[in-house]
Amino acid sequence: MKKTNLIILLIVLLGGASYMGYLSQLGTSAEAAILTAPSELPDFTLNDINGKATSIHGVAGAKPTLFIYYNSTCHLCQEELGNISKRIEEFKDYNLILTTVQPMEEMIGFADGLGIKDKSNVHFLLDSEMKVASFYQVRSVPSIYVYDGKKQLVAEYVGITKIELLLEKLSAGK
């Protein structure tokens, strides 16, 4: 009986360790996946946080760009963008375009809470007609896309993504 219990315990431990190893790889699995987002940053014109019509290409300029489609009521989005806002100085050489379909008031409230809306490299854009969401076929948020300085797709992720990985991909896109 003790031998059987020991074998079962060993199998459970090995299975658990394997599963934990699998989970630890999820943060980088999108890296190895085939990129399905548009290979070039699309150039939609959306209203910014001040209601001004703004071109995505215009705010991206020639810098590597982190494009994030989010929803402020999504706890994963809150966590991801909260983590980015805490380390915003590390993103100073890159443009961040944060896009949502939510009403303007909600976007402004969320941006105020993050404390990064006045950063010159951070751009909150409103996709009120869901043009960008349809173009990207956004099914889950946060949807994160990294584009290089030539507006070519470098990487894409869904869900919480390690800040170090985002910074590494942005840096590679200089």
Contact between residue 165 and residue 139 where contact means Cβ atoms under 8 Å apart = no
* pLDDT over 80 at 11, yes or no: no
- Give the CA angle between residues 25, 133, 113 to the nearest 5°: 75
pLDDT at 144: 97
Domain of residue 72, residue span: 34-172
What pLDDT is recorded for position 36?
A: 83
**pLDDT number for residue 28:** 44
Do 54 and 23 lie in one domain? The reply is no
59 and 18 together in one domain: no
Same domain for 49 and 114: yes
- Give the span between the Cα atoms of 9 and 62, in whole angstroms: 56
Higher pLDDT pick, 127 / 12 = 127
pLDDT tens digits, one per residue of 122-156: 999 999 999 999 999 999 999 999 999 999 999 99
Structure confidence at residue 29 (pLDDT)? 40
d(C-alpha 155, C-alpha 73), whole Å? 25
With a cut of 90, say whether residue 39 has pLDDT above it.
Answer: yes
Total domain count, the chain:
2
